[in-house]
Amino acid sequence: MTGFDERMLMKGLFPGLLALLLCTQLQAATVRVQTIRIADTGSQTRVVLDLDRTTDHKLFTLSNPHRVVVDLPAGILTAQAALFPDGQGLVSGIRGANRSDGSTRIVLDVGQPVRPRSFVIGPDGEHGHRLVVDLLPLDQPVVVKTMPDALGSDRDLVIAVDPGHGGKDPGARGRSGLLEKDAVLQIGRRLARKIDQEPGMRAALTRKDDSFIHLRERMEHARSQQADLFISIHADAFRDRRIRGATVYVLSDKGATDEAALRLAERENAADLVGGVTLRDKDQMLASVLLDLSQNASLSSSMDAGDQVLDELRRIGKIRKLQVQQAPFIVLKSPDIPSILIETAFISNRYDESNLGSVQYQERLAHAIFVGVRSYFYDHPPPGTKVATLARTYRPREVQYVIRRGDTLSGIANRYQVPVRRIRDANHIPGDKLVIGRVLLIPQPHDI
């Protein structure tokens, strides 16, 4: 089953599923709580009970003082679990006890009213059965990034860069063996470096190495970093190996722009099914559906950002579709962050595959995406950001320089008042050797 189908189905099935989890006696046997873990992502606090088997449970809140209670009708806290971790995030403390009737009660002390959710997950890889309790602030405001910054200080723009796939999920594979996960990691890291070098902008990579990350975690990471834009980077594959070129997508709730876009969304979403479907992802998917209220605002921002990136990609290579496409990608389903997904090229096409494997082309792709993103933000600077201040006085522009006989890197750097390192990075020149006639991109510092 694809992620897309699931999302459609979840709307109808979830209440039933929830009732099943909370009310049905799944197991009468005693469950052992082996350990208790806690983590805070900034937007929510998660408490995980590691169990030796699945169980039913009751979850409820009490006030005065505010508490969240988890009851296991037949449970035992092991000595390890009874060590209880220190509180984090919304949880100020955890306690619990085995009770004389054979049940176990675990209490999460919270300093404010919270919205709890719970679900059980079966074993996957490193973890066994788990009961997960997520706590969100009761009145969590949905932050729309176009609102003025309450602090009035100039903050950096945060751009979440999301190299697709990773770890056990290789993504698409080229005929010569190039893996999508490896190519997009390279492009993503180069893009992040360019963003970090730009005044007023900061990158947040969802993965920095070859690790597997669930789609929802990628979005959570962006949200915890308070990202202003989310860019997911992929490389497409198609049965027809002649097809090549880049495509830029934004999320659509209404369905895909075309059939190919829908099939692609199904394939990219299915990445999250590697290693088995987890309830956790479904649960968070539902949360996203509920938070859809501000989606329309970020959809038009996503379209604008996508347009600018597409414009830049058009300069460097083949484009499959001239317009930004819409498709129901799970990874883009953020209620509050404008998001785009870039299929940089078709790894199934041999020209595109060799391009994707080339450091120089990766650099050009990263540069094109970067320039597109920067243009977008200079057109639509969120108030309260450094870029909003800068945008009042100048617009960054590209300068190209054709290398002439006798040029040196330090000479060119000096002429443009740009550090040699930045020219090297922008053009991927490892040493000092220059090729006469080659066009150099000169990164522009803030020249008014």
Residues that bind Zn ion (CB under 5 A): 164, 171, 234, 268
Find out whether 292 and 7 touch, Cβ atoms under 8 Å: no
Q: Which is nearer to Zn ion, 33 or 309 (CB)?
A: 309
Q: Which is nearer to Zn ion, 249 or 416 (CB)?
A: 249
Buried b or exposed e, range 119-134, using 16+ CB within 10 angstroms: bbbeeeeeeebbbbbb
From the CB of 247, what's the least distance to Zn ion, in Å?
12
Pick the closest to residue 272 from 284, 260, 255, 262 (CA basis).
Answer: 284
Find out whether 197 and 375 touch, Cβ atoms under 8 Å: no
What H or E segment, with its residue span, contains residue 77? strand 75-77
From the CB of 269, what's the least distance to Zn ion, in Å?
10
Q: Which is nearer to Zn ion, 190 or 234 (CB)?
A: 234
Q: What is the CA radius of gyration of the chain?
A: 25
Find out whether 423 and 409 touch, Cβ atoms under 8 Å: yes
From the CB of 220, what's the least distance to Zn ion, in Å?
19
Q: Which is nearer to Zn ion, 117 or 234 (CB)?
A: 234
Angle between helices 180-197 and 420-427 (to 10 degrees): 150
From the CB of 343, what's the least distance to Zn ion, in Å?
7
Q: Which is nearer to Zn ion, 75 or 164 (CB)?
A: 164
Task: Output the residue with the shortest Cβ distance to Zn ion.
Answer: 234
CA 23/CA 27 separation, integer angstroms: 11
Pick the closest to residue 216 from 310, 284, 118, 147 (CA basis).
Answer: 284
From the CB of 3, what's the least distance to Zn ion, in Å?
12
Q: Which is nearer to Zn ion, 50 or 353 (CB)?
A: 353
From the CB of 170, what's the least distance to Zn ion, in Å?
10
**Per-residue DSSP letter, 428:** T
